[in-house]
Structures are given as structure tokens and as C-alpha cells.
């Protein structure tokens, strides 16, 4: 039987290769969906932003995404995250064919709240880092091997409470799904992952809604 090795996800600079380091022992996470917004792009008009606020142990986290009329396609949407009234993160997102979706999830074992902004091309997991005083990108799907042809990225909690980064191929081509299990490591103050490999049914059949 294969022994899974849990690895620590380390932040990368642009163009860097992916490296993993063995993580500290952590209490198992159990994730619950707080908010799911499908077809997020359709909720963003030319004059009105999409915005949601969440009460967390780290304060009130607000996520706002607005359309930029004068921007080119590489910077079509402006993401702003605040903690209480302080801006703690911002980035620009490109125009994508099938739009974006959003999730807020809570790790009930470790009392941590995370946020997902994803498209078929890329999925990111964000969380507030109290020690650093800012939001961190804990997971970026582009730092992982997809493992399937034309793999489409997704980060979602499953019905059993696990949180997975998955790459899905919706065509009639095997393998169709490759998964990574994600957990919070309180000692390392970061997300760890376990490569679960391929052979799964589409994640849409198991994810929390």
C-alpha cells in the first residue's frame, strides 16, 4: 500500500520551481462551506462591485471584486480584501472564458477561515495571516502538476469535510481527475498537501454546495 507523504506548501516567487518540505504533525482539518457563489463574473456589473463580508476569529474579512472599464484583458477585475477597515490584499484578475467562482470555507478543527477565487484556468486559496498582518495566497493551482489532460482547476470542500485541489477533465479521456488533499498545519502556520493521485469520479459529485 502506498504511504502518502504530507508536504508543506511554500510560497513562490514568479517563475520559481515548486518545492515541498515535510510538514510538522498537525491536527486534522475538517472544512465546511460558508458561502458558494457560482458564476461570479455575472454578478459584477460595469457600475457595481460584488462584495461579501465574513465574521472570522481574525476580524471581519471583506472580499470585493469589481470590473475595471479602462483595463486590458489581463487586468479586467480588481480584487480587494480588507480586515475590518484595513486593506490587507489586492490583485488584478484577467478576463476568462467561463468566468470565476468564489467560496468561503471554515476549518472547524483549527478555527480558520479561507477564501477561494477560481476559474477553469487557475484556483487560489487565501487566508488571513495574523503574524504577517495580511492575506496570504496559501495555494495556487499553477504551482501543482495537473496530472490530467487539459485539467481544469478547482478548490472545494467535499461532503466528508476534506478540502481538495482537483484538476478535472470533462472529456472522455482518462485519467479524468487528479486530487490533492489540503490541510492546515498550525505549527507551520501554513497549508500542507498530500498528492492523492488520479482515479476519482468528477469532484462535482462530492463537493459541498
Cell digits of residue 154: 478547482
Is 98 in a helix, a strand, or coil?
coil
Q: Please report, in tens digits, the pLDDT of each residue of the chain (209 residues total).
A: 333 556 665 543 333 333 333 334 446 899 999 999 999 888 887 778 999 999 999 999 999 999 987 767 677 899 999 999 999 999 999 988 899 999 999 999 999 999 999 999 999 999 999 999 999 999 999 999 998 888 899 999 999 999 999 999 887 777 889 999 999 999 999 999 999 999 898 899 999 99
Is residue 195 a part of any domain in this protein?
yes
The DSSP letter of residue 41 is G
110 closest CA partner among 6, 166, 179, 32? 32
Is residue 42 a part of any domain in this protein?
yes
Is 74 in a helix, a strand, or coil?
helix
Is residue 12 a part of any domain in this protein?
no
Q: Which domain holds residue 69?
A: 28-205
Residue 111: HSE in the Cβ half-sphere, 13 Å Cα cutoff: 5
Cβ neighbourhood burial of 106 (10 Å; 0-12, 13-18, 19+): buried
Q: Write the pLDDT tens digit of every residue in 15-42.
A: 333 333 333 444 689 999 999 999 988 8
Is residue 163 a part of any domain in this protein?
yes
Cβ neighbourhood burial of 3 (10 Å; 0-12, 13-18, 19+): exposed
Is residue 23 a part of any domain in this protein?
no
- Please give the Cα distance from 4 to 19 (Å, whole number): 17
181 closest CA partner among 137, 136, 149, 144? 144
Is residue 131 a part of any domain in this protein?
yes
Per-residue CA distances from 17 to 21, 58, 142 (Å): 13, 32, 11
Is residue 5 a part of any domain in this protein?
no
125 closest CA partner among 97, 153, 87? 153
Is residue 10 a part of any domain in this protein?
no
The structural domain count of the chain equals 1
- Please give the Cα distance from 209 to 204 (Å, whole number): 9
Amino acid at each position: 500500500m502506498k504511504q502518502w507523504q504530507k508536504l508543506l506548501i511554500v510560497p513562490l516567487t514568479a517563475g520559481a520551481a515548486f518545492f515541498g518540505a515535510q510538514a510538522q504533525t498537525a491536527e486534522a482539518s475538517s472544512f465546511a462551506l460558508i458561502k458558494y457563489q457560482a458564476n461570479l463574473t455575472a454578478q459584477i456589473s460595469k457600475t457595481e462591485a460584488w462584495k461579501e463580508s465574513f465574521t472570522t476569529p481574525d476580524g471581519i474579512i471583506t472580499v470585493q471584486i469589481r470590473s475595471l472599464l479602462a483595463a486590458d484583458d489581463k487586468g479586467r477585475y480588481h480584487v480587494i480584501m480588507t480586515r475590518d477597515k484595513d486593506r490587507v490584499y489586492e490583485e488584478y484578475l484577467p478576463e476568462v472564458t467561463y468566468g470565476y467562482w468564489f467560496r468561503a470555507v471554515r476549518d472547524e478543527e483549527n478555527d480558520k477561515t479561507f477564501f477561494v477565487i477560481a476559474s477553469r484556468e487557475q484556483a487560489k486559496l487565501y487566508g488571513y495571516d495574523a503574524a504577517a498582518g495580511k492575506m496570504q495566497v496559501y495555494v495556487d493551482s499553477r504551482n501543482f502538476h495537473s496530472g490530467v489532460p487539459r485539467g481544469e482547476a478547482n478548490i472545494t470542500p467535499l461532503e466528508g469535510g476534506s478540502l481538495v485541489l482537483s484538476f478535472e477533465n470533462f472529456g472522455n479521456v482518462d485519467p479524468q481527475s487528479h486530487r490533492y488533499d489540503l490541510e492546515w498545519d498550525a505549527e507551520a502556520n501554513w497549508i500542507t498537501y498530500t498528492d492523492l493521485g488520479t482515479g476519482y469520479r468528477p469532484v462535482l459529485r462530492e463537493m459541498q454546495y
